[in-house]
Amino acid sequence: MKRIFVTRRLPEPVEALMARSFDVTLNVDDRPLSPSDVVAACRGMDALVINATERLDAAAITGLPDRLKAVGTYSVGHEHLDLDALQARGIPVVYTPDVLSASVADNAMLLMLGAARRAREGQALIVEGRWKGWGPRQLIGTEVTGKRLGIFGMGRIGREIARRARAFDMEIGYRNRRALEAGAGLYFADEEKFLSRSDILAIAAPASPETRHWLNAERIARLPKGALVVNIARGSLVDDEALTAAVESGHLAGAGLDVFDGEPDIHPAYLRLDRIYVQPHIGSSTLETRLAMARHVISGLETLFAGSDPPNRLV
Ligand code: DGY
């Protein structure tokens, strides 16, 4: 059996599934690892299964042992890996596209509804014992039904969000590298027009140096007053100062965020702004998805070890 090191504890049935195919070494205490910890743990391993919590930069990649013949990232995002450096070392990488899209899109709807219906404030009212009973002025929110949804990044996850939003009679507009087939929604070549018609903006684009702080003060100012922002992609796409200032000023009615720049050390304003409905990066946290992600990584690594090219190969 090939020996693999897995950087984080996976749900029990997932670890059991991996153990059927590989001789697995686990990071027993589940502490996120530094690049040099990862390199050290790879000694004697044939493959590494890494998570988005561990970074492999160019310097670390030069230190990987020659025995290591493949990397599988247990994620669809891959900004934590220096793919060029891995390619230069001749180490192929597989990832987990497609299988997270439904879970992440479900979570986008949760965030959208949570922000629109002030779920954080309602939850706090009850669990803190402050609720005095129903009242017609209580927690007035906004309907998502019929609103204009702007999706930034119309990849697999963006499309799944659009599919769900149509059930809420939302009008779909999107920005993307290219226009998609008719029926996907209204494509906006013009960013200003896209922003100014987005009652709800959903960020679903990958993290990259080009998208860092894409949602900045200038772009937020172009959103209609009272708009909502949802982010299920990566925290780095949002300028936290600008977003929290816009919620404080009332320009934005709220936000629903699953991901944060520098998580888990998040901007302190997120701890107190109760119009911002927050979740701790749970987009793909369903057992169905975790198992499907594992099947992707396992079959990708097995295919590589058999000398072929898996469909989920990144480099
Ligand atoms: C992903 O797969 O990219 C998820 O965000 C977990 O890292």
Return d(Cα 114, Cα 278) in angstroms, integer.
Answer: 9
The pLDDT value given to residue 251: 98
Q: Which atom of ligand 1 is nearest to the CA of 74?
A: 2
**Residue 122 in tokens:** 């309602």
Query: Can you name the CATH fold of 3-99+286-305?
Result: Rossmann fold (3.40.50)
Q: Pocket of ligand 1, candidates 73, 107, 284: which has the most ligand atoms within 8 Å of its Cβ, to mutate?
A: 284
Q: Which of 79, 171, 263, 302 is catalytic?
A: 263
For the CA of 73, the nearest atom of ligand 1? 2
Q: Which residues line ligand 1 (CB under 6 A)?
A: 52, 75-77, 100, 283-284
State the pLDDT at residue 94: 98
Instruction: Determine if residue 4 is left, alpha or beta; phi over 0 gives left, psi from -120 to 50 gives alpha, anything else beta.
Output: beta
Closest ligand 1 atom to residue 96 Cα is: 2
For residues 108-136, average pLDDT: 98
Residue bearing the CA closest to ligand 1, atom 1 = 75
27-68 per-position pLDDT tens digit = 999 999 999 999 999 999 999 999 999 999 999 999 999 999
Cα-to-centroid distance, 80 and ligand 1 (Å): 10
> In Å, how far are 115, 192, 218, 251, 253 from 221, measured between CA atoms?
19, 10, 5, 8, 13
Per the prediction, the chain carries an average pLDDT of 98
Locate CATH 3.40.50.720 in the chain: 3-99+286-305, 101-278
List the structure tokens of 43: 């000694």
Q: Which amino acid is at 21?
A: S
The model's pLDDT over 257-311, given as tens digits with 9 standing for 90+, comes to 999 999 999 999 999 999 999 999 999 999 999 999 999 999 999 999 999 999 9
**Superfamily name with CATH number, domain 101-278:** NAD(P)-binding Rossmann-like Domain (3.40.50.720)
Supply φ then ψ for residue 137, to 5 degrees. Answer: -100, 0
CA angle 67, 70, 75 (to 5 degrees): 145
pLDDT of residue 242: 99
Q: How far is CA 299 from the centre of its chain?
A: 23
Describe the strand order of the beta sheet including 227-231 as a list of residue ranges: 186-187, 171-175, 148-152, 200-203, 227-231, 252-257, 276-278
- What are 53's two structure tokens? 């919590």
* Main-chain dihedrals φ then ψ at residue 219, nearest 5 degrees: -70, -40
Most distant CA atoms of the chain, gap in Å: 68
Q: Is 263 a catalytic residue?
A: yes
Atom of ligand 1 nearest to the CA of 281: 5
Q: How far is the CA of 99 from the centre of ligand 1 (A)?
A: 11
Told to judge if 234 belongs to the known catalytic residues of this protein, a careful annotator would answer yes
State how far Cα 44 lies from the chain centre: 32
Q: How far is the CA of 164 from the centre of ligand 1 (A)?
A: 20
Closest residue by CA, ligand 1 atom 3: 77
Q: Taking Cα atoms as reference points, which of 106, 108, 105 lies closest to residue 256?
A: 108
Q: Report how far apart, in Å, the C-alpha atoms of 116 and of each of 53, 61, 166, 279 are.
A: 30, 44, 17, 15
Give the Å distance between the CA of 81 and the centre of ligand 1: 13
Confidence label for 114 from pLDDT (cuts 50, 70 and 90)? very high
Look up residue 129 and give its amino acid.
G
Torsion of CA 281, 216, 83, 302, to 10 degrees: 30
C-alpha distances out from residue 148 to 151, 177, 224, 229, 263, Å: 10, 20, 11, 12, 30
Give pLDDT tens digits for 161-185.
999 999 999 999 999 999 999 999 9
Using CA positions, which residue lies closest to atom 6 of ligand 1?
Answer: 75
**pLDDT score recorded for residue 158:** 98
Q: How far is the CA of 51 from the centre of ligand 1 (A)?
A: 8
| pTM reported for the whole predicted model | 0.96
pLDDT on residue 122: 98
pLDDT confidence of residue 145: 98
